[in-house]
Chain A
Amino acid sequence: MATVTSLRPQFKASPYLIGAGILFIVTFIYAVYLKVTLGYAAFNTTNYGVFWGFPIVVYDYFLLTSVGLALVAAVPLALGVRALDPIAKRCVWLAIAALVGGVAILFMELAHPLRALWATPLNLQTASPLFWKILCVGAYTIVLVLTALALARGARPGEVPRPLAILLGLLALAIAAIAGSVYGMLVFRPFWYGGELPVVFIIESVMGGLAFVIFFTYVAYGMAPDTVPQGTRELLAGPLGVALAVAVLLHLLFTLARTVTGLWSYGEGMQVWQYTVSQPLYWLGLIGGGVVPLVVFATPTLRTQPWLQIVGGFLVAVGLLASRYEFLINGQLVPPFKGSWAPSLLEYAPSQFEWVLFFMGVFLANTIYAGLESWSSTRQE
């Protein structure tokens, strides 16, 4: 049983872990039930154009958050910025949690996930971004686990082998960039196409990573800001908060630039921008996940307020999900080559099953995170 000391996170493992675990099991069983009874018809994707639905949105979201967290962790681990030591471990735990949550959703979405595990490395389709993505995610998983093991063994962040940490950072960078290329390379899909996408994805990864670590630090302390150690609090209110403000600003700039250019563009397929800006989701992502957190973290008097940090971090996390959804789904709404068989703009909303998968992933990630926090705390006892 964990004892509370002023130096250690006050981690109330049981209710959080058990709660998340139970919710995960419930959603998982329900998801399996729906998949078995409905088959792939449980998804709202169709052959008319929306081939990748909400589960892929969530998978990408989790994966990018994971690599963003790894990138944040790489600052103390690889670059030796000792000031960030207090959050290094949490970043790694969260990175694992997000990765597992995301991959779990992908495996539930994919028809043949196990086949992917052998067929991808064996066939060496180097022309495919997905080949590299799968390869990098595989390597990233191993490196992340090794890093976690090193940290769990009681190593201080500075003691983690540097090559390992550097590799972690590079893989994280590569995954974010490739994830962007998956969309950015598709020249006939102008809503997605663009060389800036890998950079955008990296920025948004870091943005997600920072938001998550800020938010989950408070979660780890039972949402009681007073119990957070002074040093960690200063870190959140200082460098991390400012870094998040910068990331949010860049994200906003890219979003606005893409929006304005998109609205001005006459290209076939770009009409989806008119639709996009008419959707509440877009404004939720832009204002809720962009403008408001920017104000919070860019204003010295505001970003020192713990509850504003919590709300700001949460808003960024939700806003990023909204942006990811709008980016991925809206990019498929103009049906390619379907003539009158499909409407000029497709309609899509996640199915019940797809929502269940989302929650399953969220609860699984939380379970993993809670478990890892609990496990590392116990071991270090």
Chain B
Amino acid sequence: MEAGIAGTSRRRFLAATGAGSVLAAVGPRLVDDSTSPGTAQAQAAPSTKIVKNICHQCPARCGIDVYVTDGRVHAIYGTPDHPISNGKLCPKGPLGIYVLYDPDRWKGPMRRTNPKKGREEDPKFVPVSWDEALQMVADRLNALRERGESHRFAILYGRGWGASCAGLLGTFGKLYGSPNIPIGHSSMCSDGSIIAKKATDGNAGYNAHDYRNTNYILMFGCGFLDAFRPYNNNMQVWGYIRGQKSPKTRVTAVDVHMNTTLAAADRALLIKPGTDGALALAIAHVILTEGLWERSFVGDFIDKENRFKTGQTVDPTTFEEKWVKGLVEWWNIELKDRTPAWAAKVTTLRERDIVATAREFGRTRPAMAIMERGAHAHSNGIYNAMAIHTLNALVGSLFAEGGLMYQMPPPYGSLPANADDYMDDYAKNGPWKQYPRIDLKGHPDGYLLANNMMQEVGPNHLAGKPYKLDTIMFYLTNPIWTAPNGQVWERALQDVFVIDTSPFPSETSHFADLILPDHTYLERLQDAPTYPFEGYPLTQLRVPAVKPLYDTKYFGDTLIEIGKRIKGPMGEYYKKLESAENVIRHLAKGFEKNPGDNGVDSFEKWVEKGVWYKKPYLWRQIRGEFYEWDGKGYNKPMTPEEVKAKLLKTPSGKFEIRSSLLEANADWIAAKTGRNKANLMFPIWEEPKHPGGGDLYLVTPKQALHAEGRGHNIPMVIAHFQPIVGGRGEAFAEIHPETARERGIKDRSWIKIRSSVGEIRVRCRYYEGVRPDTIVLPMEWGHWRGGRWSMAVPGGHSGECTVNQSDRITGQCNYYTTKVFVEPA
């Protein structure tokens, strides 16, 4: 039956695409250019066809054209009429061919026969049929439910793509009855950003950006030209704003080492780890004292006289706030003393650079400040992130042309069945309702305000607090390796039934009891709404380029098939869903009333084009007034109520420098962190806490070829991994030459990196572009289970000496904050 799904869709796809995608022949039948201007054509054999898909190697979701000749995939290019890829690709894109033909893939479902688990234990996997494997899972789940222990089943997921995979998980949890379905990875991703935005402008999401129209970008620890999504489109933007646009967009980039982003920027600020908030506060200080704020958005002193003077408080009644809340209070309680001179001491930057950056940022419109983990993966991350995001409010770039907004979802059709109709008593009122999530997300004892706390699942299960899990299923996540101090997970996963669904062997699969391998992405039919991009709704489709090479199954179908085997109405629900393809066909019905700009109004058209999108973004703030798109322009003025409902979703309907969210939870925050209830709701400066016990900051960034670590078994990635320091064949620790010499470390020699939780060996490279107080080691290799190439790469894994510390408010895992000892190995 599964083969039928792929087979059917493939036939349908072929029928649907017809001449449009099947390439014209060349050579003797070369299309004469005089007769075919603007028509698609290709040099290829008649048997070559192009199949639409989207890349899987980072979250960006670039549309790709997969070239298939005689049943073999041999080339991948960006889809030309796709708004994100525009025919282009980042360095990862073309490497999909290696992912499909990775010789280390699982060839079918596998069952563990060695009950002992550990790094050194051979799992002794034996093949098992899909039917057997799925029934094995269903039997476990039915038994748990019968015992009233359904909360002990958890599904952990990483890169969820769309409604036909991770989108099905929430319903599964609701129908089955477990608070732990699903547990996302966002706290190990960039929740620091999401929660900070929720706290200030009320939108719990990453921003969409209008980079093409901005004249200034201030980047905090986000690797815009290294790994920031959508990397491919960022670079297209870069070519435009730096090489074509008039005026050329100016860029200041802040990070702890000289990466490609900083190298390409107009100004590189090598900041002390965890102090980005201090820099943002000083910039805000200059913007206010020098009167550079956007009055149409922020508001102004009633008499227009600027009373923001360093060190002096301001009478709040003299200032009339427009779309911000708490500006003057913030000034009085925090900002008045946050001078560039003060920030220079905290950040180690030059005062003159801070002032110059502030003036440029404050005087250039449109300008935007963007940030990710470099800035907020610290104990003070919420405040760093809030301070940076507040800069956007000060210069009025929220929802403005050349500014930031939030991503609209696609108008999907509804599923074949309504889950609420299939809830049995157990689902509605079963004993599972009384249990908190295993990661204590949303629990006062844990992380009350967090979205997810995946990094806590292993340690909490190990400790049996709040309880022990029985079964864990993993989808596109490998926290036993990616979580900080993953050694704890190695102990935790010994006494729990582990199901892995990755197509590839990994540390998780090494601890797995059952492996239900997914297709690789070029074999899948899978939907994926866009990651935050330019705001307007966009969703795309993976269409199988080839029949699955092995006996694998799309995760969406695996989940549906398990669902069908659960007793009671839940099983009926999944029988109604039928298959992932059926789900996707129902999703596509939403396009009938909402045809995309490229004419996609059906499943078949979606398969042909690979993408549905509808421009423009519907709202815009223009000089302090909000307007809605009326079909021709941003002409329809919005009321404050509409702005609150659609854009600034805070209780006040304004950008809250004084955060209602934090204020409402001030007691809990103060109790758990010892912060002062008087100012903890503002973007304040707080010294970060650096665990680990060492004397050098360990920072473990992504590289262009790394993204989400899907490339660790690709030889071409290994060969081109870390170009600035010549990381060919391995990941080098970047160490400042003086720092190295003080410790008797030679260039290119092996070193030991040690913290309170572990020790690793890697090779180092001298690099003048890294801070002397910091050691930079890309988090990529040191895999002790994976593919043949990945395991052959020398050097240890940064996670083994990264302490598991999280921002108590955002839940953000503090990947870049551990301090380590470094010595010759």
**Interface: B615 (CB within 8 A):** no
Contacts of B726 in A (CB 8 A): 339-343
**Interface: B723 (CB within 8 A):** yes
Q: How far does the alpha carbon of A341 sit from the alpha carbon of B729 in the complex, in Å?
A: 10
B723-759 interface (Cβ within 8 A of A): 723-726, 728, 748
Number of residues of chain B lying within 8 A (CB) of chain A: 6
Q: Which A-chain residue is minimally distant from B723 (CB atoms)?
A: A340
Interface residues on chain A, size class:
under 10
Contacts of B748 in A (CB 8 A): 343
- How would you classify the secondary structure of chain A's contact residues: helix, strand, loop or mixed? helix
A333-361 interface (Cβ within 8 A of B): 339-343
Q: How far does the alpha carbon of A352 sit from the alpha carbon of B384 in the complex, in Å?
A: 58
Q: How far does the alpha carbon of A72 sit from the alpha carbon of B723 in the complex, in Å?
A: 54
Contacts of B723 in A (CB 8 A): 339-341
Contacts of B725 in A (CB 8 A): 340
Contacts of A343 in B (CB 8 A): 726, 748
A362-378 interface (Cβ within 8 A of B): none
Q: How far does the alpha carbon of A342 sit from the alpha carbon of B765 in the complex, in Å?
A: 12
A297-356 interface (Cβ within 8 A of B): 339-343
**A247 CB to nearest chain B CB (Å):** 43
Contacts of A340 in B (CB 8 A): 723-726
**B748 CB to nearest chain A CB (Å):** 8
Q: How far does the alpha carbon of A282 sit from the alpha carbon of B726 in the complex, in Å?
A: 30
**A266 CB to nearest chain B CB (Å):** 23
B698-730 interface (Cβ within 8 A of A): 723-726, 728
Q: How far does the alpha carbon of A158 sit from the alpha carbon of B725 in the complex, in Å?
A: 67
Q: How far does the alpha carbon of A340 sit from the alpha carbon of B724 in the complex, in Å?
A: 6
**A335 CB to nearest chain B CB (Å):** 11
Interface string of B516-536 (1 = CB under 8 A from A): 000000000000000000000
Q: Which B-chain residue is minimally distant from A338 (CB atoms)?
A: B726
Q: How far does the alpha carbon of A320 sit from the alpha carbon of B748 in the complex, in Å?
A: 34
Q: How far does the alpha carbon of A343 sit from the alpha carbon of B748 in the complex, in Å?
A: 10
Q: How far does the alpha carbon of A196 sit from the alpha carbon of B489 in the complex, in Å?
A: 69
Q: Which B-chain residue is minimally distant from A342 (CB atoms)?
A: B726
**B811 CB to nearest chain A CB (Å):** 38
**B778 CB to nearest chain A CB (Å):** 15
A208-222 interface (Cβ within 8 A of B): none
Which of A339, A340, A343 gathers most chain B CB within 10 Å? A340
Q: How far does the alpha carbon of A155 sit from the alpha carbon of B774 in the complex, in Å?
A: 81
Interface string of A132-158 (1 = CB under 8 A from B): 000000000000000000000000000
Q: How far does the alpha carbon of A83 sit from the alpha carbon of B265 in the complex, in Å?
A: 78
Q: How far does the alpha carbon of A343 sit from the alpha carbon of B725 in the complex, in Å?
A: 10
Q: How far does the alpha carbon of A342 sit from the alpha carbon of B725 in the complex, in Å?
A: 10
**B160 CB to nearest chain A CB (Å):** 37
**A13 CB to nearest chain B CB (Å):** 53
Which of A339, A341, A342 gathers most chain B CB within 10 Å? A341
**A339 CB to nearest chain B CB (Å):** 7
**B573 CB to nearest chain A CB (Å):** 55
Q: Which B-chain residue is minimally distant from A340 (CB atoms)?
A: B726
**B537 CB to nearest chain A CB (Å):** 42
**A336 CB to nearest chain B CB (Å):** 15
**A343 CB to nearest chain B CB (Å):** 8
Which of B724, B725, B728 gathers most chain A CB within 10 Å? B728
Q: Which A-chain residue is minimally distant from B722 (CB atoms)?
A: A340
Q: Which A-chain residue is minimally distant from B748 (CB atoms)?
A: A343
**A114 CB to nearest chain B CB (Å):** 33
Contacts of A341 in B (CB 8 A): 723, 726, 728
Q: How far does the alpha carbon of A355 sit from the alpha carbon of B445 in the complex, in Å?
A: 69
Please give me the 10 A-B residue pairs with the lowest Cβ-Cβ distance, nearest first: A340-B726, A341-B726, A341-B728, A340-B725, A340-B724, A340-B723, A342-B726, A339-B726, A341-B723, A339-B723
Known: A340-B726, A341-B726. 9 other contacts (CB 8 A): A339-B723, A339-B726, A340-B723, A340-B724, A341-B723, A341-B728, A342-B726, A343-B726, A343-B748
Can you name 12 A-B residue pairings with CB atoms under 8 Å?
A339-B723, A339-B726, A340-B723, A340-B724, A340-B725, A340-B726, A341-B723, A341-B726, A341-B728, A342-B726, A343-B726, A343-B748
Which residues of chain B have a CB within 8 Å of any CB of chain A? 723-726, 728, 748
